[in-house]
Amino acid sequence: MAGLHVKKGDKVVVIAGADKSKEAREVLRVDIEDGRVIVAGANVRWKHLKRSQQNPQGGRVQKEFPIDASKVLLFSEKAGKGVRTRSKVVDGKRVRVGVPCGTEFD
């Protein structure tokens, strides 16, 4: 896989699954090899922690788990929604451009 259409720190909209929403959320981490992203507040599950020296009590915490990158679209302020993107070369650099609105994301 050459790369993904999203990067860490991008604002995205989740378009499928239980966390489908209209609001923009931030990408926390990108796994290029698996084609998955971790989005703030999306796919939150309980993680059970074993007792350890750092955490002598053990317990449970809520944590975001990865979702497929195909389930998110970049959020465009201009369009006010998630948009598909295409690549364009500007001054020798590859730039992501929103298809319906022409917004440049890099």
List, as one string, the DSSP characters of 25-85.
Answer: EEEEEEETTTTEEEETTSSEEEEEEPP-SS-TT-EEEEEE--EEGGGEEEEETTTTEEE-E
pLDDT at res. 1: 47
- Selected from 3.50.50.60, 2.30.30.30, 3.30.460.10, 3.90.1200.10, the CATH number assigned to the domain covering 11-98 reads 2.30.30.30
Euclidean distance between CA atoms 13 and 69, whole angstroms: 11
Please tell me the predicted confidence (pLDDT) of residue 22: 86
What does the pLDDT look like over 48-100, one tens digit per residue? 999 999 999 999 999 999 999 999 999 999 999 999 999 999 999 999 999 99
Q: Is 47 a residue whose pLDDT tops 50?
A: yes
pTM of structure: 0.87
